Amino acid sequence: MLHWKIDVRVWSRRVVAWGIAMAAVGASALLAAQAPQQPFEKFTAESGESLPAEPLVIGAYAFVWVALVVYVFMLWRRIGRVEQELADVTARLAKRQ
């Protein structure tokens, strides 16, 4: 039951620390609220009207497929290798016993 006793010093320090943290968060929220919502520089860009969209969409789809297939393949190989080695070493350990 000892672990239920609260160490006053530790907890008072924690309360103070949390208080400061909350005050900081609150202060920043207040500051942010006072600033107008869109004070930051606007960024504008022209659109690439002349570009054909199909190759981009197909390219994106293809890239996702390729990336994931490559990753799955790499994982598959690594898993196979590690399991093979693990079986070997376990067998050797058992033989020694």
Partner 1 sequence: MRVANRLVPVLLVIAALMYARAPFMVDAAPIESTMGLVQKIFYFHVPSAMMTFLAAFVCGIGSAVYLWRRSKTADAVAVAGAELAVVFGLIVMVTGPLWARKAWGVWWPWGDVRLTMTLVMWMVFVAYLLLRRFGGPGSEILASAVGVFGTALVPFVYVSVNYWRTIHPSTDVVSTLPPEMAWPFRWAIVAFLALFTALLTARIRLETNRVALEEAYVALED
Partner 2 sequence: MSVIRSAWLIARKDLIVEARSRELAYTTLFFSMACVLVFAFAFVVEGRPLDDAAAGILWVAVAFAGTLALSRGFERERQSETLRALLLAPTERAAVYLGKLIGLVVLMIGVEIVLVPVIGLLFGAPVGRAPLLLAALLVTGTLGFAIVGTVFAAMLVRAHSRDVLLPVLLYPITVPVIIAGVRGTAAIFGPEPNFEAATAWLSILVFFDAVFGILALWTFAPVMSE
Least CB distance from residue 31 to partner 1, whole Å? 13
> What's the CA gap between 91 and 97, in Å, rounded?
10
Q: Which amino acid is at 57?
A: V
Site string for partner 2, 10-39 (x = CB under 8 A): ---x---x---x--xx-xxxxxx-xxx--x
The site partner of 13 among partner 2, partner 1, none (C-beta below 5 to 8 Å per kind) is partner 2
Q: Where are the alpha helices (DSSP H) in the chain?
A: 8-34, 54-96
Q: What is the CA radius of gyration of the chain?
A: 30
The residue (of 27 and 75) whose beta carbon lies closer to partner 2 is 27
> What's the CA gap between 69 and 92, in Å, rounded?
35
45 contributes a contact to partner 1 by CB under 8 A: yes
Question: Could you say which DSSP state residue 3 is in?
Answer: G
Q: In the complex, which residues of this chain contact partner 1 (CB under 8 A)?
A: 38, 40-48, 51, 53-54, 56-57, 59-61, 63-65, 67-68, 71-72, 75, 78-79, 82-83, 85-86, 89-90, 92-93, 96
